[in-house]
A and B are shown apart, each in its own frame.
Chain A
């Protein structure tokens, strides 16, 4: 069984059953490390990716449901040599301790900024309410998202 997926702009075929959670295919077949397994229950947000611009939990999204969808992962935002403003802001604010939740924070923030380019700090906190962080990096994460929003608003 093979399923076709469009990930970060490229169509890829993966040898997996249609009920396979997208997360495993991204991490293992496509070797994309960004999305992380945190709970497998859509509770923590570590596995967040964008599907047609919306933040979704890849741990509970079956690949069979994604025909024709545009999937974007952390790697699709930018690279170390060409950082996305969110990635640059997270580095600038040193907004990671262990960093395991950060994929979900950045991807959820990306979905927020796409629909609301000028969020208030409270908007950011609400948009990230379902993304858990255990190290206590929350305030730096909020500052990073605000910083990215400012930078993106200027250009």
Chain B
């Protein structure tokens, strides 16, 4: 494919000055008028946009680049409404000293929330500029037009944004009253604009926090306990201090780290520290063989959701029941998490790839007993995270080390085993489904129960301490009771309420608060597991009803946009109703509307099973997507493709291994992922709906993909696997 290249400097300030923007009047007002998207929490125009004397715009967003291309897409939205070329829009993202607080970059919400705020703010700024120009040119506002940041009148007089910048007052509350452009006049939105960051990344330009080198910078490493909850009894600090290059050994309770002049010296010192450290073991972990049963024995909070009640049939001829499971899964970022921190004059600056610079700042400030104003967190890209990985934890680690060497910036990258063994995993889940079919093969009731830990133990998710090192200090912070994000988006129960039209349904969410294994947000939260279970069960019901899986879904679905993606995916794949698997090859479909609120995706997967080895290979996939108005078609396609492939990897391979003594998945040999020769083709069809609002899509394809693979396996072999992942031993056992 070809994309239109826009040359643009990828300038990311390491440092830079603090620009204060106007404080929200919301704090002074009792009941602020509601404003759409993230404008609601960040109400001043100058928090979002500045027009500079050189005619450029500086655009601020609290959302951050995680490899999903969001900064490019948000720039497109702002440039479109401002009528500025993209090259004259500079983006500043995720800096507690400069940008709006938009919480976490998570949940596929950046286009919806930050995009909405920027669209409305930019439209308003453009309107204010036209108003100023109207006065200066003595022409009525509606007679003026704008092109590339120059406002022109019919009589040929023009004035540029740059010339108006000094008289433009953006220290005012947004009104959201300026009408954004209709999609029909979009010139930048809707284009496959090339990502700003890729040229630098393919040529070795400093692009990541790992690439930062500040003057006088030194290198840190941490030594984590052998398992959760272990406490440090003793360590030979003197011996480690004698290692060449070591500047400091930092010990605070059971938090242990080292700082050295050179990175390889820090790595060696870490090994020496780990060898000399004596630990009192922490509590044993549950037996992995019975983990799902064990989780069900823990206390739960029960929530009944999505209830629909119609008069029940006297008897339903067919009743089906099935139980599904999903193991703990790792984010497994390719680059271990990293941060740079500098402690100076009782203030600390942390460069971090956290998904939320404001929340992580709050945790660092609390743990280090500093006022939040003394902590500045600046987003700097890291490796892709796919949710809550080690980013926040390493930010606190770096800050704690930096405090031991004031004035010296400390760069700390976790080692591979730090990331694998200590990141919060996506929780293990059990799902139980029961449904009845009437004589015509229609589903007349649907009962679904799920058991899950929290899917968000992110910074600020509880009243207590929510960052790793805090729990191990001499004065430890304790985590509060975890909660679950509420419906309709949900957490573990995300996508557990069917979008299908069933006359009776009931969903029960058993929320397990005790967390024997550390867990948090992994891309899609519970949706991956729930769509796996519910869409597998739909196929089991279709089989029992003697119906084709595509036709069976359509027969139960009224939502026209859902129907359209299911039909489109089937068409793309050349779906043949009634086609039979041949024992080794088969095809399946899966569908969801992510969160029941975001993009619609249907995926068809073709698989091959090697019956002798038990290996499953996904050969081809077809994904139809409706994300409303498309901002950047190639960027959206990349997100859908990436989600399909990542989900195929989760589905076929991924499971965090542990024993009662601790986590066993500590490198890639015991957490294998899908590799290049086994990656399926991914054909994506986008259904653009310019009249509909844009819907988040970063997590849209994972649920449909696992279901499509599971259904393809059953289609190929006639055997149903209900436990993830589909590894060779499980496949061989299923085939008998």
Contact = CB atoms under 8 A, between A and B. Distances in A.
A124 B202 CA distance: 18
Contact of A20 (B202, B264, B335): B264
Of the listed residues A33, A43, A132, A140, the one surrounded by the most CB atoms of chain B closer than 10 A to its CB is: A33
A78 B203 contact: yes
Interface of A: 16-17, 20-21, 24, 27-28, 31-34, 36-41, 43-44, 46, 73-75, 78-80, 83, 87, 90-94, 96-103, 106, 122, 124-126, 128-142
A91 B5 contact: yes
Interface in B619-650: 634, 638, 641-646, 649
B64 to A, nearest CB: 12
16 contacts: A16-B262, A17-B264, A34-B203, A43-B668, A44-B668, A75-B204, A87-B203, A94-B1, A94-B194, A96-B198, A99-B67, A100-B384, A132-B675, A134-B646, A136-B646, A141-B676
Contact of A91 (B194, B207, B332): B194
B677 interface: yes
A37 B204 contact: no
Interface in B677-706: 677, 679, 681-682
A99 B197 contact: yes
A138 to B, nearest CB: 4
Nearest to B642: A136
Interface string B415-443: 11000000000000000000000000000
A97 B201 contact: no
Of the listed residues A44, A133, A135, the one surrounded by the most CB atoms of chain B closer than 10 A to its CB is: A135
Contact of A129 (B69, B197, B336, B675): B675
Interface of B: 1-3, 5, 66-69, 194-195, 197-208, 210-211, 213, 262-264, 267, 332-336, 381-384, 386, 413, 415-416, 634, 638, 641-646, 649, 667-669, 673, 675-677, 679, 681-682
B264 A129 contact: no
Contacts of A33: 204-208, 211
Contacts of A40: 267, 415-416
B334 A134 contact: yes
B201 A99 contact: yes
A98 B198 CA distance: 9
A101 B207 CA distance: 13
B264 A128 contact: no
A77 to B, nearest CB: 8
B203 A24 contact: no
Given A28-B213, A125-B676, A128-B676, A97 B205 contact: no
A38 B675 contact: no
Given A40-B416, A135-B384, A139-B641, A91 B202 contact: yes
A10 B69 CA distance: 36
Given A21-B264, A99-B201, 15 more contacts: A24-B262, A36-B210, A37-B210, A91-B198, A92-B3, A94-B198, A98-B66, A100-B67, A122-B677, A124-B676, A134-B332, A136-B643, A136-B644, A136-B679, A138-B676
Contacts of B336: 37-39
Contacts of B649: 136
A139 B205 CA distance: 24
Nearest to A32: B204
A126 B678 CA distance: 10
B204 A44 contact: no
A83 B203 contact: yes
B198 A99 contact: yes
Contacts of A21: 264
Nearest 6 A/B pairs, CB to CB: A98-B67, A136-B645, A98-B384, A136-B642, A99-B201, A34-B204
Nearest to B219: A28
Given A100-B208, A128-B676, A44 B334 contact: yes
Nearest to A137: B642
Contacts of A98: 66-67, 334, 381-384
A97 B68 CA distance: 6
A23 to B, nearest CB: 9
Contacts of A39: 336, 416, 667-668
B66 to A, nearest CB: 7
B335 A36 contact: yes
Contacts of A135: 67, 384, 642, 646
B482 to A, nearest CB: 26
Contacts of A141: 676
Contacts of A96: 67, 195, 198, 201-202
Contacts of A130: 675
